[in-house]
Amino acid sequence: MTEDAEARAARLRAQSEEGAAAVDRRQNAREWAEKQVAAITGTAQSEHGDVRATVDHSGLLLRLELSPLTKQAKQDDLAHAITAVVRQATADARNQVREVYVKLQNEGVIRALPPFLLPAPEVGSVALALPVRGNAPSRRTGEHAEEGPPDSWLKEEPW
């Protein structure tokens, strides 16, 4: 081989090794990102903490916590609060996933963010309409309200 051929071969080997190293770095970065994303959870709570939700990286509900005071809420209000808090938790998780991919983009591992990683929509805070805290009706000593269903449930009238 001539010197030019040897120099060219060495240059091609170096480029090949650099390319292989770049592919390895990208693969390692993607594996890191997958692990980071899999560990993400999003959390949110209503204004007074009566409704709390935790979701995984995909928005799947993992845990829903309701304070005992939520029993006093109207059914529609509670449903709205739960839905809104879960949406907040999902937005939190989505933003965290986006941050992982933005890091990959900033490092040059990926050229563009995947299309499903649009920024999460803004979700406002949620307040659940409950009776004034601390003013819930309580039974007086000596008062014995009957437990069980109301009389109307016990009537034997056809539906």
The string of pLDDT tens digits covering residues 12-54 is 888 888 888 888 888 888 888 889 999 999 999 999 999 999 9
What pLDDT sits at residue 15? 85
**Side-chain half-sphere of 113: how many Cα atoms within 13 Å?**
15
Could you tell me the two tokens for 80? 């709205």
To the nearest 10°, the Cα dihedral for 70, 75, 78, 84?
170
Three-class secondary structure assignment of 75-132: HHHHHHHHHHHHHHHHHHHHHHHHHHHHHHHHCCCCCCCCCCCCCCCCCCCCCCCCCC
The Cα diameter of the chain in Å comes to: 109
Provide the residue ranges of all domains of the chain, joining segments of one domain with +.
Answer: 13-123
- Please list the residues that pair with 45 across neighbouring strands: 52
The Cα 136–Cα 46 span in angstroms is: 20
CATH 3.30.479.30 given to domain 13-123:
no
Please tell me the least confidently modeled range out of 2-11, 37-46, 142-151: 142-151
Tell me the three state secondary structure of residue 4.
helix
